Amino acid sequence: MTAAKSSGKTGVLFVCLGNICRSPMAEAVFQHIVETNGISDQFVIDSAGTSRFHLGDKPDSRSAQTCRDRGVRVNHRARQTQPEDFDNFDFILCMDESNLDDLRMLKPKGSRAHVALFGSYSANAGDAVIRDPYYGGNKGFITNFEQVTRCSLGLLEELGFDNVTADFS
């Protein structure tokens, strides 16, 4: 039995390729939002990558700085998605179609996890794919931050938390 299952909490795993840019940012922003809204006790939150490229690494400095500049703490070491994640988490939310394809291939038969694009939870159609900012400048990380904020609020609304706000003061 998993932490989410045994505790009655909702498990959310954010996934990108290397687990150093987008998914740790999504994890940190989602964690910040649920904490500032007093509902963090209802969630188990983590992030992972589909590749082994950056195992054990801290998040990309630009991703972490974008979060810190907005009052969001980032505390994560990169890890790779594991088969047990599909039973440990209710939602496995990825950033792009390549991640989605990889996760669908990894997902064990009978798994309970809902695997989807994180961007599908935003009302903004431009958020469907959260593009990898790794090879670009800081603007990409700022765009990602805005996207994962909208997606976090959308997911929480979908889960029945209608009055949740994003406060980055």
Residue among 16, 67, 94, 151 flagged as catalytic: 16
Residue type at position 139: K
Residue among 46, 102, 127, 132 flagged as catalytic: 132
Q: Is 62 a catalytic residue?
A: no
Q: Is 79 a catalytic residue?
A: no
Q: Is 167 a catalytic residue?
A: no
Helix residue ranges per DSSP H, the chain: 3-7, 22-36, 61-68, 85-88, 97-106, 138-158
**Residue with the two structure tokens 């987008």:** 22
Query: Would you state the structure tokens that stand for residue 14, as one six-digit string?
Result: 């954010």
Query: Would you state the structure tokens that stand for residue 88, as one six-digit string?
Result: 């440990």
What are the backbone angles phi and psi of residue 14, rounded to the nearest 5°? -100, 135
Residue among 21, 22, 60, 67 flagged as catalytic: 22
Q: Which residues are catalytic?
A: 16, 22, 132
